[in-house]
Every structure is written in structure tokens, then in C-alpha cells.
């Protein structure tokens, strides 16, 4: 039963991340759900919301730095953090804090 709840929480978290966090390229907003990155991000940040301590922005930044995004047909990779506007990083932290409170 707990696994189902964890899976449901991950799916809900991924959906919210996908709808509210985007990559900004030349002033175009590509939401993480459209970029197929929302589930990966949710899986990577999930341990931060299940820890018995407040979500810290530095930890979220480290997670975003560790997620490579292929660009140019895979000719290059950039860390996800380099593609997110600061406001999206703040939104992500806010989402994580909300989910942590609700757990």
C-alpha cells in the first residue's frame, strides 16, 4: 500500500513540476512535461521531500546540476540548471516545500 502511495505522490509531483517549471531558450518556454523531463526531475528530488529536514535550495540546485540535457541532436549536453530561469528554480523549491508539508 505504501508503494502505491509513493507512486501516486511521485506521479502527482511530476505532473506539477511538468506544468510549472520550464526551460527557457531564446525566450521560448518549454515546460518540463513537454521536454519529457518532469518524471526524471521528480524522481531525483523526491528524496529531498522525504528527508526529515526542510528542503534547501542548495540541494535542489545540486540535483538540477546533475541532470544532463542533450541539445543539438545530442551533440552537446548542458546541466538542467543552466536552462532554467531563476523564477522556475524558485517555483520548484516552492512545489517541493508544499509537497513536504502535505506528507
Confidence of residue 4 (pLDDT cuts 50, 70, 90): low
User: Whole-angstrom Cα distance, residue 85 to residue 75?
Assistant: 23
* Rounded mean pLDDT, 28-41: 97
Q: Which residues contact 84 (CB under 8 A, 6 or more apart)?
A: 21, 22, 23, 24, 64, 92
Confidence of residue 5 (pLDDT cuts 50, 70, 90): confident
User: Whole-angstrom Cα distance, residue 79 to residue 92?
Assistant: 16
- Closest by CA to 37, choosing from 59, 9, 66, is 66
Plot region of 73 (φ>0 → left; ψ -120 to 50 → alpha; else → beta) = left
Judge contact between 96 and 45, C-beta under 8 A: yes
Tell me the pLDDT of the chain averaged across its residues.
Answer: 94
C-alpha cell at 11: 506521479
Is a pLDDT exceeding 60 seen at residue 3?
A: no
* Rounded mean pLDDT, 14-43: 97
Instruction: Record the pTM.
Output: 0.92
* % of the chain exceeding 90 in pLDDT: 91
Is a pLDDT exceeding 90 seen at residue 67?
A: yes
Instruction: State the pLDDT at residue 103.
Output: 82
Amino acid at each position: 500500500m505504501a508503494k502505491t502511495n509513493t507512486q501516486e505522490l511521485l506521479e502527482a509531483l511530476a505532473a506539477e513540476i511538468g506544468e510549472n517549471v520550464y526551460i527557457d531558450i531564446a525566450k521560448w518556454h518549454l515546460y518540463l512535461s513537454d521536454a519529457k523531463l518532469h518524471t526524471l526531475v521528480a524522481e531525483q528530488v523526491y528524496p529531498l521531500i522525504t528527508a526529515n529536514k526542510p528542503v534547501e535550495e542548495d540541494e535542489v540546485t545540486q540535483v538540477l546540476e546533475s541532470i544532463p540535457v542533450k541539445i543539438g541532436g545530442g551533440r552537446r549536453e548542458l546541466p538542467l540548471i543552466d536552462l532554467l530561469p531563476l523564477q522556475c528554480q524558485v517555483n520548484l523549491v516552492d512545489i517541493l516545500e508544499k509537497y513536504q508539508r502535505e506528507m
